Amino acid sequence: VSDPLRNLRALRHKVDQHAQRVETTFAAHFACRRGCDGCCQTERSVSAVELAGVREGLDQLDEPTRARLGASTSHCSMLVDGACAVYAHRPLICRSHGLPLVMDEQLDVCPLNFEQLDIAELPLPEVLNVGSVTAVLVAVNALYCQEEGADPRARTELRDLLAQGS
């Protein structure tokens, strides 16, 4: 039986590989650590394929952890004690947190990272192209929706996934 999330898993793997390489190469320039939740202060909305991906993570949580999700509207509903409760299943945008990015030809990075190194000096392959990742994700979602009979235009807030149950 074909895995409906196979293309999402492959894309996640690619982005994670990129992140690991950059974080290893430029380790001294990263302030990212468990407990820093600066990137998680807004609620995320995701497409159908990523919603199914996060649901997998949600299904693996124990009841006490699950009961604590969505407790505050001031940050992402998946954040518990400063850490992502569905970390291995988090959306792609969350996997780019902290990395040097290029988006609409603008370079960007968390102000806590790369304080001593101008990311404009980095070789291009070290900078994650958000537009390219998004374009692949749109295609991955379109195929998923075709196979699973879901709406490719739908976006759902993670908070609403909690309300849906699993």
Smallest separation, CB 25 to ligand SF4 (Å): 22
When asked if residue 48 is in the footprint of ligand SF4 (CB under 6 A), the reply is: no
* CA distance linking residue 76 with residue 85, whole number of Å: 10
- First and final CA of the chain: distance in angstroms? 22
Dihedral angle over CA of 20, 32, 88, 108, nearest 10: -70
19 versus 117: smaller Cβ distance to ligand SF4: 19
Q: Which residue from 22, 49, 79, 133 is in contact with ligand SF4, where contact means CB under 6 A?
A: 79
Closer to ligand SF4 by Cβ: residue 122 or 133: 133
Closest CA to 88 of 65, 70, 61: 61
Find, among 89, 86, 93, 82, the residue nearest to 38 by Cα.
Answer: 82
Collapsing DSSP to helix, strand or coil, 55 comes out as helix
Among 51, 52, 94, 119, binds ligand SF4 (CB under 6 A): 94
Which is closer to ligand SF4, CB of 91 or CB of 100? 91
Q: Which of 84, 99, 122, 133 touches ligand SF4 by CB under 6 A?
A: 84
Give the footprint of ligand SF4 on this chain (CB under 6 A).
Answer: 40, 44, 76, 78-79, 84, 90-91, 94
